[in-house]
Structure 1
Amino acid sequence: MKILPFRIPKPEQEALVYQEESGDIFYSQLHQHAEIQISYIVSGEGSLIVGDTINEFKTNDILVIGENVPHVFRSDPKGPSKSIMYTLFFTKESFGKGFFTLSDMTRLQIFFEESIYGIKILSECESLIWHFNRLKYQSRIQRIATLINILDIVVSSNRQPLSTYVYRKKYTEDDGNRMKNVIDYALRNFHKPFSLDMAAEKANMSKNAFCRYFKKRTGKTFFQFLIEIRIEHACRLLFKDNDLPISEVSDQCGFLNIANFNRKFKELKGATPTQYRNFSLEKWRSRFPESA
């Protein structure tokens, strides 16, 4: 079953949808759906846009996307592995309007509140992965029980939000296609020179109208958003290729000079590119000492 932009086809009378996606890349189109999404990244890596914020996703990540939250998964075509993702889709009304408001479910209310901004799970991942790996062999009723177990583990875990601002109105199809075209163009061409005229053209709007439109729906200017895309790509390059000069990272990410790159990088990451690279490598070696 394929997720279509802004709508997820759901088999008739099926309250909980389990989906496996596998391919060279994940879909890269902006979309939203009424269902809450809990995903396990079995393999693959790339960029993830949720609301106003660009993140990265990688193998073994557990991610939650709330209802009607615009988001994009874009696999890195140069990634080392095939992209595979297991996902559960459900709504607060999937098992009856009052199910998740029962006193027995009070503990889960924080999950629904936090899902509005998206969630990345930072702990308990091994336990969650164990549950996800069982889903393909389970009956529908067993999957419902597994979902409850997963939700219980999630609210006990350490978590971080994936975004700070989400446009709460549901996108119309035309509105969604306009944002999709702009974001897709930015993701494909962030390493090239950009102008507002080019972005506005993709949205089929005047420059001034586009600036107001984008700021209203993301909480930031288009160029703020573009810089964040470039910096997130720089983070992956710094980690993946320790021998790549900082100047080359700057060039590959679309910055006109290294001084501007260093300044913007530190503003967003709180460290210089060199400090970030060293910290990331030390963190990796502490987790996987056998690969050091």
Structure 2
Amino acid sequence: MEIRAKPLFVQRPVEASFSVRQDGVRNTNSWWHFHSEIELIGFHRGTGLQFVGDSISRFEAGDVVMVGSNLPHCWRYDETAESNATVEPYSTAIHFQPGLLGEVFMRLPESGGLVQLIDQSARGLLLRGAGARRVADELTVVRQASGMHRIIALLHCLATFLEVQAEAQPLSSVGFDYRIDRMDEERINKIYGYSFAHLGQPITLEDVADLVGLSRTSFCRFFKRRTGKTYVQFLTEIRIGYVCRQLVDKPQRPVKELCYASGFRNFASFHESFRQLTGMSPKAYRSQAQQITPRNFHR
């Protein structure tokens, strides 16, 4: 599935101070986008790649992610994810403005932790395990509540996140510059869509630069400035992500076959890149994946 070229700006309902939604189909958030609201999302099923700022990592059912105001992000489900919309939804998401609770409330001594949490969400925060399950339960309560009870439920959800905050993993790097305009956003979506569509084929910098109407030099400068990494780094990470998924879903496929299917042309280079990103060899990853759920990887 190709990432949409046009970003979606999600506006809160007029009759509500913040929005809550459930996604019954996958890839509702599969395009690179940002919004002024803080997003708190819990994943109920499926696996895939998540892009938060300059971070590319895997997500899986049970994860909870908090994305700060105006931090670019998107989630792409693996093609093996179920597409039946009649069963459990893929995710539940809350969007709320940082100033939702008001300046007076945020200045209260009891609100100090919440202020820090909102500040730290500027990098994106990932929760897994018991802490994520607690927050996910509170997300369900928020979705089911109405009126004043929904505001109270949101506060309780954020308080629960605060209690397990020590378990949260920052996603984007400290120095990531996410000042981005709509034209940049459209270009990034075109680049991402093209890269995924041609993952197993040779992709040159000239090909992608032409796609967005830039010279090779200007493209390299643009991509590094807007994503925090070079295009070659990005392409390597999504190719390794594809291999990781295949090692879990199709453990009988030879590693060398996966190397070339993912677009690498040199097995030694592939092996080195895989070890740098996952901390282990492809065979060790496959062995571990057969015992536990798919492992998260980061640069």
* Alignment match, 2:109: 103
1:228 aligns with 2:230: no
CA distance in 1, matches of 2:241, 2:133: 26
Which of the residues 205, 220, 223 maps onto 1:214? Answer: 223
Q: Would the alpha carbon gap of residues 34 and 15 (structure 1) be closer, same or farther in structure 2, given more than 3 Å must change?
A: same
Which of the residues 50, 53, 59 maps onto 2:55? Answer: 53
Q: Would the alpha carbon gap of residues 186 and 135 (structure 1) be closer, same or farther in structure 2, given more than 3 Å must change?
A: same
Shift of 1:117: 1.1
Q: Which runs of 5+ in 2 are unaligned?
A: 1-5, 295-299
Which of the residues 281, 286, 291 maps onto 1:272? Answer: 281
* Alignment match, 1:192: 201
**Range that drifts further, 103-112 or 125-134:** 125-134
Which of the residues 29, 32, 37 maps onto 2:31? Answer: 29
Query: What SS does the aligned partner of 1:37 have?
Result: strand
Residue 71 of structure 2 contacts residue 178 of structure 2 at CA under 8 Å; is this kept in 1?
yes
Residue 43 of structure 1 contacts residue 59 of structure 1 at CA under 8 Å; is this kept in 2?
yes
Which amino acid is the alignment partner of residue 147 of structure 2? R
Residue 39 of structure 2 contacts residue 93 of structure 2 at CA under 8 Å; is this kept in 1?
yes
Residue 40 of structure 1 contacts residue 62 of structure 1 at CA under 8 Å; is this kept in 2?
yes
Q: Would the alpha carbon gap of residues 250 and 101 (structure 1) be closer, same or farther in structure 2, given more than 3 Å must change?
A: farther
Shift of 1:88: 0.7
CA distance in 2, matches of 1:243, 1:98: 59
* Alignment match, 1:288: none
Q: Which runs of 5+ in 1 are unaligned?
A: 286-292
Residue 25 of structure 2 contacts residue 83 of structure 2 at CA under 8 Å; is this kept in 1?
no
CA distance in 1, matches of 2:158, 2:185: 30
1:166 aligns with 2:176: yes
CA distance in 1, matches of 2:200, 2:107: 47
Aligned pairs for 1:112-191 within 5 A:
112-122=118-128, 123-157=130-164, 158-164=167-173, 165-169=175-179, 171-191=180-200
Query: What SS does the aligned partner of 2:123 have?
Result: coil
Give the CA RMSD over aligned residues.
Answer: 2.0
Structure ranking higher on relative contact order (CA contacts 8 Å, 6+ apart):
2
Shift of 1:253: 1.4
**Range that drifts further, 79-88 or 203-212:** 79-88
Shift of 1:81: 5.5
Query: What SS does the aligned partner of 1:64 have?
Result: strand
Which of the residues 242, 262, 272 maps onto 1:253? Answer: 262
Q: Would the alpha carbon gap of residues 197 and 140 (structure 1) be closer, same or farther in structure 2, given more than 3 Å must change?
A: farther
Shift of 1:24: 4.5
Shift of 1:284: 4.2
CA distance in 1, matches of 2:153, 2:13: 20
**Range that drifts further, 5-14 or 156-165:** 5-14
Percent identical across equivalent pairs? 28
Structure 1, residues 169-217: CA drift from partner, whole Å, max 9, x if none? 1x22212111121122222322221100111122211111111111111
- Aligned length in residues: 281
CA distance in 1, matches of 2:67, 2:49: 14
Residue 69 of structure 1 contacts residue 166 of structure 1 at CA under 8 Å; is this kept in 2?
no
CA distance in 1, matches of 2:144, 2:279: 45
CA distance in 2, matches of 1:97, 1:189: 48
**Range that drifts further, 4-13 or 187-196:** 4-13
* Alignment match, 2:12: 10
Residue 39 of structure 1 contacts residue 85 of structure 1 at CA under 8 Å; is this kept in 2?
yes
Residue 116 of structure 1 contacts residue 166 of structure 1 at CA under 8 Å; is this kept in 2?
no
Which amino acid is the alignment partner of residue 263 of structure 1? E
Which amino acid is the alignment partner of residue 56 of structure 2? I
